[in-house]
Amino acid sequence: MLNNHAPIVSLLKNGIVKIKGSIEIDEAFQDKFTKGDNGYTHLEIESGTIEMSENKVIILVE
Range of the domain at 36: 8-61
Residue 39 in domain: yes
Residue 2 in domain: no
Q: How many CB atoms lie within 10 A of CB 13?
A: 8
Residue 18 in domain: yes
* Number of structural domains the chain divides into: 1
Residue 54 in domain: yes
Residue 3 in domain: no
Rounded to 10 degrees, the C-alpha dihedral 53/21/12/50 comes to -20
Q: What is the pLDDT of residues 3-60, one digit of tens each?
A: 888 999 999 999 999 998 888 899 999 999 999 888 899 999 999 999 999 999 899 9
Any idea what DSSP says for residue 62?
Answer: -
